[in-house]
Amino acid sequence: AQSVAQPEDQVNVAEGNPLTVKCTYSVSGNPYLFWYVQYPNRGLQFLLKYITGDNLVKGSYGFEAEFNKSQTSFHLKKPSALVSDSALYFCAVREPDTGRRALTFGSGTRLQVQP
C-alpha cells in the first residue's frame, strides 16, 4: 500500500531564509508525487507534481521540489520564504501502476514564516 510521511509537524523559518518541508514516500512501483498547500478555511491548492523526467520540479509561487528515488523523498523547497507562505503543506502520492487514482496524503506540515 502507498503511504507518505511528513516527519515535521511544524517548520519555522525567518522571512528571506530558505525553507524545506520534508516528505518521504513508500510505494511498490513508480510514484506520482504532489504538493498541495492549504490556507485556513480554504481548499487544497496545487503547487507542483513529479510524474517523470527531471528530478527537480518547479511549481507555483517560487516553490520547487526534488525527487530522490534512492532516498524515496520529495522535499519541498523555496530559496527565500515570505510571510505569506505560512500555511499547511501536504505531500501526496499516487501509484499509477495500480490503476488507482486516489491520492494518499501525508499528515501535513505547518509552515510558519516569521517577519
Partner 1 sequence: AAGVIQSPRHLIKEKRETATLKCYPIPRHDTVYWYQQGPGQDPQFLISFYEKMQSDKGSIPDRFSAQQFSDYHSELNMSSLELGDSALYFCASSYTSRNTDTQYFGPGTRLTVL
The end-to-end CA distance of the chain, in Å, is 41
Query: CB 107 → partner 1: shortest distance, Å?
Result: 5
Cβ-count burial of 40 within 10 angstroms (0-12 exposed, 13-18 middle, 19+ buried)? exposed
Query: CB 82 → partner 1: shortest distance, Å?
Result: 22
Q: Are 81 and 73 in contact (CB under 8 A)?
A: no
Q: Report the alpha-carbon distance of residue 97 to residue 48 in Å, rounded.
A: 21
Query: CB 73 → partner 1: shortest distance, Å?
Result: 18
Contact code string over 23-62 relative to partner 1, x by CB under 8 A = ---------x-x-x----xxxxxx--x-x-----------
Q: Where do contacts with partner 1 occur on this chain (CB under 8 A)?
A: 32, 34, 36, 41-46, 49, 51, 90, 94, 96, 100-108
